[in-house]
Structure 1
Amino acid sequence: MKTEAVEKKAEKFRTKKYITYACLLILVFISAIMVVFQVFEYRHDYRELSSFMRERDDLNAEWGRLLIEQQTFGATAQIGTRAVTQLRMYSPPAAQTVVISLPMTSDENK
């Protein structure tokens, strides 16, 4: 009777041991699958971040070009204002305007 009780205990222990190993093995596989999913998400997010950073760089370059263009157009008005105020330049009236045309050459007549 004692041997049967000992055998039952040993059988129960083996069963618990196999169940524990099976649970640990399942947890290891689940952990491995979760690692694969996390790496996939990381790479996807990194690729998206890289595209956003490229877009940001393109927009910064365009912004710089627009600032240069704005300064160019602003400088034209500034030059006109300085010409009038500092150099006292003005546009002559039509009566004071003379149009000079070049004489026709023989090549242009043909």
Structure 2
Amino acid sequence: MKTEVVEKKTDKKPMKKLISYIVLLLLVFLSAIMVVFQVFEYRHDYRELSSFMRERDDLNAEWGRLLIEQQTFGATAQIGTRAVTQLRMYSPPTAQTVVISLPMTSDDKK
């Protein structure tokens, strides 16, 4: 009788090992698949980040050009203001304006 009990216990042990190996193998396979998906997401996000950084650089360059343009237009207004205030320059009234017309030459007629 004792031998029968021992045999029954040993029969269950290999089955449990097999099931545990299969479960572990499935977990390792699932882990490997998750690693592949994580790498794919990382590369996708990195590409997107790179495109955003390129767009940021382009916008910064455009911002610099706009600042230069603003300073150029601001300088023109500043020159006009200084001419009026410091040099007392003004536009003459129409009564003091003289228009000179040049006679047309033969080259201008063509």
TM range (shorter): 0.7 to 0.9
Offset from partner CA, 1:50-86 (integer Å, 9 cap, x none):
1211221121122112212211221111010011112
Percent pairwise identity: 86
When normalised by structure 2's length, the TM-score is 0.87
Equivalent residue number for residue 42 of structure 1: 42
Question: Is residue 5 from structure 1 mapped to residue 10 from structure 2 by the alignment?
Answer: no
Equivalent residue number for residue 107 of structure 1: 107
For 1:88 and 1:16, the matched residues in 2 are separated by 104
Which ranges in structure 1 are unaligned for 5 or more consecutive residues?
none
Equivalent residue number for residue 64 of structure 1: 64
**Large movers: runs of 4+ above 6 Å:** none
**Superposed CA RMSD:** 1.6
Deviation at 1:26, TM superposition (A): 0.7
- AA matched with 2:99: V
Segment of structure 1 superposing worse, 1-10 or 66-75: 1-10
Deviation at 1:28, TM superposition (A): 0.2
For 1:41 and 1:13, the matched residues in 2 are separated by 42
Which ranges in structure 2 are unaligned for 5 or more consecutive residues?
none
Segment of structure 1 superposing worse, 30-39 or 99-108: 99-108
For 2:109 and 2:42, the matched residues in 1 are separated by 76
For 1:70 and 1:96, the matched residues in 2 are separated by 35
When normalised by structure 1's length, the TM-score is 0.87
| Equivalenced residues, count | 110
Give the alignment of 1:66-105 within 5 angstroms: 66-105=66-105
- AA matched with 1:104: M
For 1:16 and 1:108, the matched residues in 2 are separated by 108
